């Protein structure tokens, strides 16, 4: 199906999300933070979509990562995941596709479909 770059600093959460993505038939590449994600892309990975946590350590959170990715590849869809409902509303209003944690597998797949089809939030 799709090549997904998953950016998540919580390894247990990343394991679960990667397993669900794989179950849906996607190939998953993982990065533990925004800097690692940019390094992977700069090294030549061309994912179909990036799914990133919003709040991550290391100075490059999900929103900054989305901005950096948009600069490098404006057509690359980025899905932001957050557990903060007020933040989710802000991000949607700003035009981002958002997964609100905790989410069900079907919700994640629906948002990925929207991202891959180039649909707005």
**Span 41-53, pLDDT tens digits:** 999 999 999 999 9
In Å, what is the CA distance from 108 to each residue of 71, 97, 111?
25, 11, 5
What is the model's pTM?
0.92
pLDDT digits (tens, 9 = 90+) for 68-109: 999 999 999 999 998 877 777 778 877 889 898 889 999 999
pLDDT digits (tens, 9 = 90+) for 75-85: 999 999 988 77
Domains and CATH numbers, the chain: 3-47+56-116 (3.40.50.2300)
């Amino acid at each position: 199906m799709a090549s997904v770059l998953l950016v998540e600093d919580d390894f247990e959460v990343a394991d679960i999300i990667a397993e669900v993505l794989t179950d849906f038939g996607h190939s998953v590449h993982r990065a533990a933070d925004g800097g690692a994600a940019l390094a992977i892309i700069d090294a030549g990975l061309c994912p179909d979509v990036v799914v990133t946590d919003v709040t991550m350590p290391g100075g490059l959170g999900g929103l900054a990562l989305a901005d950096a990715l948009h600069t490098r590849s404006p057509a690359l869809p980025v899905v932001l995941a957050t557990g903060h409902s007020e933040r989710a509303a802000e991000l949607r209003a700003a035009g981002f596709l958002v997964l609100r944690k905790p989410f069900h597998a079907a919700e994640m797949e629906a948002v990925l479909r929207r991202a891959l089809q180039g649909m707005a939030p």
